[in-house]
A and B are shown apart, each in its own frame.
Chain A
Amino acid sequence: MINRMSVTSVWVLDKEEALDFYVNKLGLEKGSDIKQGTYRWLTVRVPGDPSVEISLEQPGPPVQDEATAAQLRELISKGAMGGVVFVTDDVRGLYETLKKRGVTDFTQEPADNFYGTDMGIRDPFGNAIRILQPKKAAHAAKA
């Protein structure tokens, strides 16, 4: 039996730029940042929650040959690579904070729905990110 999720990954075009966005703009914290030769094991995670890490991965050798990496980079920039969903307890407050930090690529401003309030943004490379504030009742029922 699998007990929990530990690591998932997001493809980025540049690890340093990704780190700046996910930590300084979005507000995640740096998890691991370890270099060995040319490889950099770089993760971010929700502050205070070390149980799930997001590995920021850059296309290229030795994982992919340069031609494959170029295809992958094109797909990332077309927004064709999927994305992640985060949960917050104050999505409108976070929206204002993100704007102050210079985030401009909102795919959806905070909108109320039967399940809660959510918004959508893209990271600098084209990956989709959703941030949800669940309805109080649903949240309490889960807790």
Chain B
Amino acid sequence: MSREVEAFNRRLLRARDAMDRAYAEPLDVRAIAAVAHLSEAHFIRSFRGVFGETPHRYLQRRRVERSMFLLRETDRSVTDICFDVGFTSRGTFSRTFREIMGEAPSDYRVGHGPMVAPPCFQMVFMRPMVAIGVATESSSFGDASAAEAP
């Protein structure tokens, strides 16, 4: 019984890793679900059960984290960074960033300089929490069904 849970978790983790690896590319939830050998609906439900958020929100927070990294560490324009991390429109990027961080990308850049910590650790530990009290869920990933607890 326990072995089945572990093997199932491991498949979901493999799908989550696929999002962390390919966040800059256009991703659709069906392809990510296929990594875990699950149907789209089963994948979304199971992912949320195991990791506490939908795959869509996980990917959004990964993309926002990567944008925060580039805003801190590079001089690239906000528009370039928006496309660098996988958003397909500047409007969606700004709205999602503000929803999660409570401020605009350009304001975040002003307030934050480079961080002296290994980038792989930054990537793991700095994926942003959703700011308290803000509305959540918008869709560019096709799974915006349920409202999400922060």
A residues neighboring B (CB under 8 Å): 13, 70, 73-74, 76-79, 85, 105-109, 113, 115, 118, 120, 122, 125-126, 128, 130
The answer, yes or no, to whether B115 is at the interface (CB within 8 Å) is no
The answer, yes or no, to whether B119 is at the interface (CB within 8 Å) is yes
A113 and B117 CA atoms in complex are apart in Å by 13
The answer, yes or no, to whether B110 is at the interface (CB within 8 Å) is no
B120 touches A126 (CB 8 A): no
A118 and B121 CA atoms in complex are apart in Å by 12
Chain B residues whose C-beta falls within 8 Å of the C-beta of A74 in the assembled complex: 2, 5-6, 9
The answer, yes or no, to whether B78 is at the interface (CB within 8 Å) is no
B13 touches A126 (CB 8 A): yes
Chain A residues whose C-beta falls within 8 Å of the C-beta of B12 in the assembled complex: 78
A85 and B121 CA atoms in complex are apart in Å by 10
Instruction: Count A-B contacts at CB 8 Å.
Output: 51
Number of interface residues of B (CB under 8 A): 19
11 A–B contacts, CB within 8 A, in A order: A70-B2, A73-B6, A74-B5, A77-B5, A79-B16, A79-B17, A105-B14, A108-B20, A115-B119, A125-B6, A126-B10
A113-B119, A118-B120 are contacts. A76–B17 as well, Cβ < 8 Å? no
Docked complex: B1-38 residues within 8 A CB-CB of A: 2, 5-7, 9-10, 12-14, 16-17, 20-21
B13 touches A77 (CB 8 A): yes
A13-B6, A73-B6, A106-B21 are contacts. A78–B118 as well, Cβ < 8 Å? no
Chain B nearest CB: distance from A103 CB in Å?
A: 13
Chain A residues whose C-beta falls within 8 Å of the C-beta of B16 in the assembled complex: 79
A76 touches B6 (CB 8 A): yes
A85 and B120 CA atoms in complex are apart in Å by 10
The answer, yes or no, to whether B50 is at the interface (CB within 8 Å) is yes
A139 and B5 CA atoms in complex are apart in Å by 43
A106 and B20 CA atoms in complex are apart in Å by 11
